[in-house]
Amino acid sequence: MWYVQHLKGFGVLICERDVSMDKGFKEELMELMRGKEREAMVPPRVFVKGRYLGGADEVMRLVEEGIMGDVFRRVA
């Protein structure tokens, strides 16, 4: 996916989980997204060290605004 290539450009390890292929992954996503609106459950969802950043559009906005590197440094 296009957003994964952008994130890899920051030199971070990417762990993709296909919730359609593993019930445990889907349950993990539901737990992480507890209290969020149903639309927020639709993949792709991006987390950094358990912190929810948003979907692909929100993450690309962070990249385009030049603040994604700051986000990674804060959670490192």
DSSP codes joined into one string, 2-68: HHHHHHHTTT-------TTT-HHHHHHHHHHTTTS-GGGGSSPEEEETTEEEEEHHHHHHHHHTT-H
pLDDT for 1 beyond 80 = no
In terms of residue numbers, what domain contains 25? 2-75
Question: For the residues 18-41, what does the mean pLDDT come to?
Answer: 81
Count of structural domains, the chain: 1
Least confident of 27-31, 42-46, 48-52: 42-46
- In this prediction the pTM is 0.65
The CATH number given to whatever domain includes residue 68 is: 3.40.30.10
In single-letter form, the type of residue at position 53 comes to: L
* First-residue to last-residue Cα distance in the chain: 24
Rounded to 5, what percent of the chain is helix, strand, coil?
A: 50, 10, 40
pLDDT digits (tens, 9 = 90+) for 61-75: 988 999 988 888 887
Question: For the residues 47-59, what does the mean pLDDT come to?
Answer: 85
